[in-house]
Amino acid sequence: MDRRSFIGNAAALGALGLAARPQRLLAQAVAPLPFGSAPILPVQASPDRIFRTTVCLRPFRAKGPRLEVEKIAGKRVVHHYGHGGSGWSLSWGSALDLLPLAMADAPKEIAVVGAGAIGLTTAITLQRAGAKVTIYAASRFPDVRSARATGTWSPDSRVAMADAVAPDFADRWERTARASFARHQSYLGLPGDPVDWTDRYNLFDAPPPAAGNRPHVEGALQFVELQARTRDLQPITRTLAPGTHPFRVPFVRQTTSMMFNVADLAHTLETDFLLAGGRFVPMELHAPSDFAKIREKVIVNCTGYGARALMRDESIIPVRGQIAWLIPQAGVRYGLFYRDVSVLSRRDGIVVQGVGMDDSFGYNDANESPDRAAAEQSVNVIASLFVPPTTA
C-alpha cells in the first residue's frame, strides 16, 4: 500500500443507521460488525474538540537517507538522516545498516547527535552492539519533530525520488523495512501500547482504482513506490460489499495496519536508553565545526531536518505536514481515510490530517506555522460522515 493506504485505509462512521434516541444510537454504534472487525464508535469530529495543531517538516532527500562517513573537526562522523516520512517506520532497520560504519574501529564510546526517532533507535542499537552511548541534543521529546509524526507504519512514504536512487536502493530499502518491522513487533503488548495494530477503512464515493486507493495524478512528483516488496507484512485488504458494512458510502476497503503511539513509544525508548547506561547532554550545534565540542571521537549525526542547517545540506527538502489533534475518545480504535483526509486514533489524541491529492502535497514547504482554518476544514470533512445524535 502507498502512504495513504497505510495512514488511512479508512472509513467514516456515517452510516451506522443511527436512530433518534441516544440509547439506540449507542446500541447500534457498538454492535459487532458483520465482517468481524472490532465495534466502531463514531468519532466526535468537531472543531471545538481540537486541542492543538502541529506541523512537522519531513526531511526528504531525493537519493534517500544519507548513511555516509565524513571526517569533521578531527572526528569520524557517520551521517544518518533524511528518511522523509518514514523515520519511525524505518528507524530500527536503518540503525542496523549504519552499525558497520559506526563500529568500524570498535569504539568503546559513541556520541549520537539528535534525540528524535532516528537518534533514539540508533543509540539503543549501538548500545546493544556494546558501545557506551551519549546523546547530544538541543531538544528531547516532546520538543522534537518526531513527536509530531502521524504514527503509522509507512516505510516508503516519500523516502526517495524514483529517478534519483541508486540501482540497489530497492533491495536496501526492503532489508531495512523488514528489519524494522520485526523489531517493532517486540514493542507490542507493552504498557501504554507503544506499538499496536488497528483496523483501517478507506471510503470512496465512486468506484476506487484497481490498484492503490487514489487515482493517478498527471504531473505529480514520482516518489519511489516499493510497498509491493513487503506485501506479505501487511494483512490482506478486503473490499466490503454494500450491506456488509455500516458506512454510508458505497465503496469500502478494510485492512489492519501497524501504528505507533508516539508519546508512549518515545517514553519507552528513552527509558530503555537510560536503563542501559545512556545519558543525555543538552547541546546546540550550529555548524560542522561544532562537532569539536563533543568528547567522543565517533559521532553519529541523526539530526533529521535539522541537518539542512547544521550541515548546509540543501539536498534535504522539507515536506510539510499538519495535524489537527482531537481529544482522545474512549472506544475509538481505528483509522479511516476519506476525501484526502486521514484519521488515526491514538492514545495521545485523534490525528486528523489533510494529505492532498498526491504525495507532492507539502513538498518544499518549510512553513511550520499551524493553519487553523485548514485544520478545521479537515475535521469538518470527517464530521460530515456522521449522523449527529438527537434527543428527540
DSSP output for 344-358? EEETTEEEEEE--SS
Q: How confident is the model at residue 388 (pLDDT cuts 50, 70, 90)?
A: low
Closest CA to 35 of 260, 292, 238, 208: 238
- Is the whole-model pTM more than 0.85? yes
| pLDDT computed for residue 38 by the predictor | 57
| pLDDT computed for residue 252 by the predictor | 87
Mean pLDDT, the chain, whole residue set = 88
CA distance 374 to 363: 17
Q: Which amino acid is at 391?
A: T
Question: What does the CA dihedral 15, 16, 19, 20 come to, rounded to 10 degrees?
Answer: -70
Assign domain 60-159+263-316 to a CATH class.
Answer: alpha beta
Q: How confident is the model at residue 248 (pLDDT cuts 50, 70, 90)?
A: confident
How many CB atoms neighbour CB 231 within 10 A? 10
Cβ atoms of residues 300 and 80 within 8 Å: yes
23 vs 92, more confident: 92
How many CB atoms neighbour CB 336 within 10 A? 29
Cβ atoms of residues 239 and 209 within 8 Å: no
| pLDDT computed for residue 4 by the predictor | 46
CB-side exposure of 43: number of CA atoms within 13 Å?
Answer: 36
Cβ atoms of residues 198 and 335 within 8 Å: yes
Burial of 276 (C-beta count, 10 Å sphere; 0-12/13-18/19+): middle
Q: How confident is the model at residue 93 (pLDDT cuts 50, 70, 90)?
A: very high
Q: Is the pLDDT of residue 389 over 70?
A: no
| pLDDT computed for residue 18 by the predictor | 28
| pLDDT computed for residue 77 by the predictor | 98
| pLDDT computed for residue 5 by the predictor | 44
Summarised one tens digit per residue, pLDDT across range 105-115 is 999 999 999 99
Summarised one tens digit per residue, pLDDT across range 279-325 is 999 999 999 999 999 999 999 999 999 999 999 999 999 999 999 99
Closest CA to 94 of 56, 113, 66, 57: 66
Cβ atoms of residues 137 and 114 within 8 Å: yes
Q: How confident is the model at residue 7 (pLDDT cuts 50, 70, 90)?
A: very low
Q: Is the pLDDT of residue 6 over 70?
A: no
Across the beta sheet with 195-204, what order do the strands follow?
A: 50-61, 316-326, 349-354, 341-346, 334-338, 195-204, 251-260, 238-240
Residue carrying the nine cell digits 539530526 = 303
Cβ atoms of residues 188 and 259 within 8 Å: no
Q: If DSSP codes are grouped into helix, strand and coil, which group holds residue 118?
A: helix
320 vs 34, more confident: 320
The DSSP letter of residue 169 is H
CA distance 121 to 42: 35
| pLDDT computed for residue 30 by the predictor | 37
Domain locations in the chain as residue ranges: 3-56+197-258+318-383, 60-159+263-316
Q: Is the pLDDT of residue 13 over 50?
A: no
Summarised one tens digit per residue, pLDDT across range 150-205 is 999 999 999 999 999 999 999 999 999 999 999 999 999 999 999 999 999 999 98
Say which range, 59-68, 248-257, 343-352, has the weakest mean pLDDT. Answer: 248-257
The angle, 0 to 180 degrees and rounded to 10, between the axes of the packed helices 169-185 and 87-102 is 110
The DSSP letter of residue 115 is -
- Buried-exposed string 48-76: b where 16+ CB fall within 10 A, e elsewhere: ebbeebbbbbbbbbbebbbbeeeebeebb
| pLDDT computed for residue 240 by the predictor | 81
| pLDDT computed for residue 82 by the predictor | 98
Q: Which amino acid is at 360?
A: S
CA distance 98 to 106: 13
Cα angle 223-227-229, degrees, rounded to a multiple of 5: 120
| pLDDT computed for residue 35 by the predictor | 42
CA distance 252 to 244: 10
Summarised one tens digit per residue, pLDDT across range 35-58 is 445 567 889 999 999 999 999 999
Summarised one tens digit per residue, pLDDT across range 322-363 is 999 999 999 899 999 999 999 999 999 999 999 999 999 999
Question: In angstroms, how far apart are the furthest CA atoms of the chain?
Answer: 75
Overall average pLDDT of the 6-16 stretch: 35
| pLDDT computed for residue 213 by the predictor | 61
CA distance 18 to 211: 33
